[in-house]
Amino acid sequence: MLTGGDRRAAVAWTRPVLSLRGVAGLLAALLALAWLLRAPLCASPAAGAAPLTEEEMHARGVWRAPRLGADSFVARRRRSTGAYEVALVQRGKEPFLGAWALPGGFVYWMEDPIAAVQREIKEETNLDVDMQTPPVFVSFRGSPTRDPRAHSLSAGYVTKVTAASVPDMRAGDDAGNATWFSLADAVNGKVAMAFDHRGILKELAAWFEAHGKAKGLYADTD
């Protein structure tokens, strides 16, 4: 039979043990949670990786969906030569630092993609979209590995800008530069491009040749 002193000594001895068990249990729970969440928190899935099913996402307590981007083919025609040029922006940060891309970016929550087209073109090039001839949706890309940062989708538009805004073209936002390239050079691989934008450019340029020129979807400038 334990005396009062013995009982106090026993309690004092067991308290640290219980505390250590509690910490160990908490650490185990955190490690288990980290293991459960590690797949959906990966930035971009490896090529060929199986997507998480709806049941798997519910079981892990998370819901992941791709991010939507809006990219634009913006052309102008020089009256003096009749040559067509395309507006491109140079990336000012990784990934693809220094490479060229179509003007565009992610669509904000509750933002119409057409509004995102207007906003991104203005932010990156200072050009104004001519909404009297609204942007035309032409292409869609969604490979899980097209963007190393995360699974992202790209809606591609052929977009007309106002001729009056062309002289004020300049880089903004995270663009390192913004300028016009010969459409033929850009399509034929003479410009180093970011992400899968060369493929998007070719698709949009083909539609522009077949339909966009006749619709006047370009800025006519000196």
Are residues 89 and 135 located together in one domain of the fold?
yes
**Per-residue confidence (pLDDT) for residue 48, from 0 to 100:** 54
Instruction: Classify burial at 48, counting beta carbons within 10 Å of its beta carbon; exposed 0-12, middle 13-18, buried 19 or more.
Output: exposed
Distance CA 119, CA 128 (A): 9
Domain limits at 38? 4-60
Are residues 132 and 102 located together in one domain of the fold?
yes
Are residues 156 and 216 located together in one domain of the fold?
yes
Query: In the listed set 60, 80, 98, which residue is the last one of a domain according to the structure?
Result: 60
**Per-residue confidence (pLDDT) for residue 177, from 0 to 100:** 96
Are residues 146 and 85 located together in one domain of the fold?
yes
Long-range contact pairs involving 185-189 (C-beta distance under 8 Å, separation at least 24): 186/86, 186/88
Are residues 131 and 162 located together in one domain of the fold?
yes
40 pLDDT higher than 60: no
CATH code (residue 193): 3.90.79.10
Are residues 30 and 85 located together in one domain of the fold?
no
Strands 100-101 and 84-91 turn out to be antiparallel
* CB atoms closer than 10 angstroms to residue 39: 16
Count the domains in the chain. Answer: 2
Are residues 98 and 54 located together in one domain of the fold?
no
Are residues 195 and 215 located together in one domain of the fold?
yes
Q: Summarize pLDDT for 133-186 with one digit per residue, the tens.
A: 999 999 999 999 999 999 999 999 999 999 999 999 999 987 899 999 999 999
Are residues 76 and 50 located together in one domain of the fold?
no
Are residues 132 and 46 located together in one domain of the fold?
no
Are residues 46 and 99 located together in one domain of the fold?
no
26 pLDDT higher than 60: yes
Q: Quote the percentage of the chain above a pLDDT of 70.
A: 78
Are residues 171 and 217 located together in one domain of the fold?
yes
Q: Are 88 and 179 in contact (CB under 8 A)?
A: yes
